C-alpha cells in the first residue's frame, strides 16, 4: 500500500523531474541519418519479404553494419532499431514480432532462439537525475539460450549460456548459466534439465 498524501503535503511537493531540461537530440546526427534510411529499408524491403528469405534480410542488415553469421537470421516482422549495434553468432534466430531496441550493443550467442514478441530493451533513462539522461546499455544473450514468447529483457542484462527465460517473463537482472527463470520480475525456477 502506498502512503497517501494530504492536500497540504501534495501542494508543497517540489517536482524533481525536469523534462524541459532533457536533451532534444540525444544521438549523433549520423545515427539519425542511418536510422532514417534503415526505417525505410525495413518498411519497403524487409517487411514484405517472404518468410524464408533469411539471406535477403541478413544481406540488408549487414549493409547497415550488423554482424550476423551466415547461418543465422531474422523474420520479416522482426524490428531492429540500430543494425550497426547487433551481433548474432551462428545458428541463431530472431522470430516474428521480436523487437530489438538496441540503443546499446546487443550480442546473441550461437544456437539461441529468440521467440515471437520478445522485447530486447537496451535503453532507459537515469531517473536519479532531474533531466532523465538517456542510457544506452548493452544486452548479452549467451549461447544455447531460449527466450520464450513475449519475454522482456531489460537494459544491461546478461543471460547466461544454456538458460531458458519463460514466456512473458520480465528480466531485469542477470540470468545465471543453465537456469530456467520466469515471472515478473523473473526469478530462478530451477536448473535447466539437459539430457544428452
The number of folded domains in the chain is 1
Q: Answer yes or no: is pLDDT of 110 > 90.
A: yes
For the segment 23-78, what is each residue's pLDDT rounded down to a tens digit? 888 888 999 999 999 999 999 999 999 999 999 999 999 999 999 999 999 999 99
**CA-CA-CA-CA torsion for 100, 111, 160, 196, nearest 10 degrees?**
150
Report yes or no on 127 lying in a domain.
Answer: yes
**How far is it, in rounded angstroms, from Cα 142 to Cα 131?**
34
At 90, which CATH number? 2.160.10.10
Report yes or no on 78 lying in a domain.
Answer: yes
Report yes or no on 3 lying in a domain.
Answer: no
List the domain range (segments joined by +) for residue 160: 28-191
How many residues make up the chain in this entry?
Answer: 196
For the segment 118-140, what is each residue's pLDDT rounded down to a tens digit? 999 999 999 999 999 999 999 99
135-164: average pLDDT: 98
Report yes or no on 187 lying in a domain.
Answer: yes
Q: What is the secondary structure of 53-118 as a DSSP string?
A: -HHHHHHHHHHTT-EE-TT-EE-TT-EES-GGGEEE-TT-EE-TT-EEE-SS-EEE-TT-EE-TT-
**How far is it, in rounded angstroms, from Cα 145 to Cα 175?**
11
Q: How many CB atoms lie within 10 A of CB 15?
A: 7
3-state secondary structure of 142: coil
Give, as one character, the DSSP assignment of residue 175: B
Beta bridge mates, 120: 100, 153
Which sequence positions are flagged as catalytic? 125
Report yes or no on 23 lying in a domain.
Answer: no
Q: What is the mean pLDDT of the chain?
A: 94
Report yes or no on 103 lying in a domain.
Answer: yes
Report yes or no on 61 lying in a domain.
Answer: yes
Report yes or no on 106 lying in a domain.
Answer: yes
Q: For position 4, what pLDDT does the model report?
A: 76
Amino acid at each position: 500500500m502506498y502512503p497517501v498524501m494530504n492536500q497540504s503535503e501534495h501542494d508543497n511537493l517540489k517536482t524533481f523531474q525536469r523534462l524541459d531540461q532533457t536533451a532534444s537530440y540525444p544521438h549523433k546526427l549520423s545515427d539519425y541519418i542511418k536510422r532514417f534510411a534503415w526505417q525505410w529499408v525495413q518498411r519497403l524491403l524487409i517487411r514484405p519479404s517472404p518468410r524464408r528469405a533469411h539471406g535477403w534480410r541478413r544481406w540488408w542488415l549487414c549493409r547497415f553494419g550488423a554482424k550476423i553469421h551466415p547461418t543465422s537470421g531474422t523474420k520479416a516482422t522482426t524490428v531492429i532499431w540500430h543494425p550497426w549495434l547487433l551481433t548474432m553468432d551462428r545458428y541463431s534466430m530472431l522470430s516474428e514480432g521480436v523487437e530489438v531496441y538496441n540503443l546499446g550493443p546487443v550480442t546473441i550467442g550461437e544456437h539461441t532462439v529468440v521467440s515471437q514478441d520478445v522485447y530486447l530493451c537496451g535503453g532507459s533513462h537515469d531517473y536519479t537525475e532531474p533531466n532523465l539522461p538517456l542510457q544506452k546499455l548493452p544486452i548479452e544473450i549467451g549461447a544455447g539460450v531460449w527466450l520464450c514468447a513475449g519475454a522482456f529483457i531489460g537494459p544491461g542484462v546478461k543471460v547466461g549460456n544454456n538458460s531458458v527465460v519463460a514466456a512473458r517473463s520480465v528480466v531485469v537482472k542477470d540470468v545465471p548459466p543453465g537456469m530456467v527463470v520466469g515471472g515478473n520480475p523473473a526469478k530462478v525456477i530451477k536448473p535447466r534439465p539437459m539430457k544428452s
